[in-house]
Every structure is written in C-alpha cells, then in structure tokens.
Amino acid sequence: MERGLILLAAALMVFVAPGVQGTAHLSFATNRTVNITRDGCGSTKLCVETPADCDPAGNGTCLFGAVNTSTPMAPNGTDLSIQLRGNSQGYVALGLTANASVGITMLFICAQNSSNNGTFFFRTMQRNNTDSMLSPTETIVREIRGSVEGDMIRCEFDVPGVNATSTRTSHAITFSILLGSGTVTGGVIGAFNSTLNSGPLNITNPASNVVNTTPAPTTTTSGASSVLYPHALLLLLSVLTLSVKLRA
C-alpha cells in the first residue's frame, strides 16, 4: 500500500503538466505531433506490424507497435517505452502476454472519442485470454503522448518497473506482443480484435524477431514461464489507473 502511494505520487508528478483541468481525470491539451517511424527497428527497438513492413510514418493503413527497454533489469525491473500507431475510429491496442491462449493479456489502449471530435484518450485493460473479457486494470503508465488525425491514432508511453527479478526467472522477459483494434461506444471500450500475435519474443532484444529462422527451443523452462508470467504480471504492473485525455 505504501509503495502504491509512492508510485502514485511519482506518476502524478509526471501528469501535473501545463493545462491540467478537471479533477477525476487528469487531462491536458497538446498540439504536439507524435512521430512514429521505423528508425531503430531491430537495433534500439523491437518492432511488430501488420501488414508486414508497413510504414508507420506514412498515410496508409498500418498497425505498428514498438517496444524498447531500459537496460537495468535488477533490482528495480525494466522500464518499457512503447509506441503504437494504427487506424481506427475507435481504438488501437498493444497487448503483452505470456501466452495468448491462456492467462491474461495486459492491454495498452490508445483511443479516440468520436463523439468529442476525435479526442485522444488512453486506457489500460486486462483481457482474459480464455473468454476474451476485458476488465479495467490499474497500471502505472507515464509520459503518455497521443494524437488523432482522422482514423489515424498515434501514441507513445512508458511502463516503468516491469520487475523480472521477482519471478526468479529471466523468462519473464519473454512476451507475445499482440496488436489489434476495437470500437469505442460512448466512451466504452469494445472487444479487442487481435490482428497480430508475434509469438514469444525476448522483449529486451530489439532483434529477437528479425532473424526468423529457428523458433525458440521448447524446453521445460519455457513452459514454466507461461505458468509464472500471468501471475507476475498481476503483481508487477501495479496500482494506478490513469485516464489522460489529449486533444490533438
């Protein structure tokens, strides 16, 4: 609980930005464009996209996600920097899961409110991979930047302290990355339609999906990770729901 409060304070410091309005939801307006490109894919960031090799900087349909990680794994865990870009009148989302058919997926959702001129907003949700139900989760997310132009949604955010050490296995850095989209109806997030599943990737290695020759060997340890990870995810991604509205 105490740690939760400390993290809350840290996050609030990040969010108390110029133009804060309202009380329940921290919100602020920005005119800054969010630029998302392929620069660094395979070297400083791990990129996934559909259709293959599509250009997130272009105007075409392209659902693109990129993850980079801070180097220190211990003792404070890894910080993730995530970029997401896609086309939707509702939302696009990036999911992290140990196994897309069991356990849970953490969904990071970048959305537009079409009844309010395409206002950007951000949510985190948890998807039950068995029955696809979404439920709100409390996850620390910092430095959320987002923009909406027509159906093009772009956002960037950081997820601090994904703590791999507490799972006692390096395999807690093995995630499948999901990309997909869904509807927003009256501010309510609709079902997640997953259109890409990367399969298990070492998310600390930007090139882990570049050489696509041999799949990772199936060992008893990788089995263990899929059992451990959903649990770890619940414990580690902590205590705060942030809802941030940006006007592009």
Ligand X SMILES: *[C@@H]1O[C@H](CO)[C@@H](O)[C@H](O)[C@H]1NC(C)=O
CB of 34 to ligand X, least distance (A): 7
Q: Tell me whether residue 117 or residue 241 sits nearer to ligand X (CB atom).
A: 117
CB of 76 to ligand X, least distance (A): 4
Q: Tell me whether residue 68 or residue 124 sits nearer to ligand X (CB atom).
A: 68
- CA distance linking residue 157 with residue 193, whole number of Å: 21
Q: Tell me whether residue 203 or residue 242 sits nearer to ligand X (CB atom).
A: 203
Ranges of beta strands (E only) in the chain are 46-50, 63-69, 78-87, 91-97, 104-113, 119-128, 134-136, 142-149, 152-162, 174-182, 184-185, 188-189, 193-202, 244-246
CB of 13 to ligand X, least distance (A): 13
The answer to whether 36 and 45 are in contact (CB under 8 A) is: no
The answer to whether 133 and 127 are in contact (CB under 8 A) is: yes
Measured between its terminal Cα atoms, the distance across the chain in Å is 35
The answer to whether 96 and 78 are in contact (CB under 8 A) is: no
- CA distance linking residue 30 with residue 151, whole number of Å: 18
Q: Tell me whether residue 183 or residue 243 sits nearer to ligand X (CB atom).
A: 183
User: Which residues here bind ligand X, judged by CB under 6 A?
Assistant: 32-33, 35, 44, 58-59, 68, 70, 72, 75-77, 81, 99, 101-102, 104, 117, 128, 130-131, 161, 163, 165-166, 170-171, 193, 195, 200, 202, 204-205, 226
CB of 26 to ligand X, least distance (A): 19
- CA distance linking residue 108 with residue 159, whole number of Å: 10
Q: Tell me whether residue 123 or residue 154 sits nearer to ligand X (CB atom).
A: 154
Q: What are phi and psi of 93, to 5 degrees?
A: -145, 150
CB of 68 to ligand X, least distance (A): 4
Whether the CA torsion 122, 153, 39, 172 is positive or negative: it is positive
Q: Tell me whether residue 70 or residue 243 sits nearer to ligand X (CB atom).
A: 70
- 28: number of Cβ within 10 Å: 16
- CA distance linking residue 86 with residue 92, whole number of Å: 6
CB of 16 to ligand X, least distance (A): 19
CB of 243 to ligand X, least distance (A): 19
Q: Tell me whether residue 130 or residue 185 sits nearer to ligand X (CB atom).
A: 130
77 secondary structure, DSSP code: -
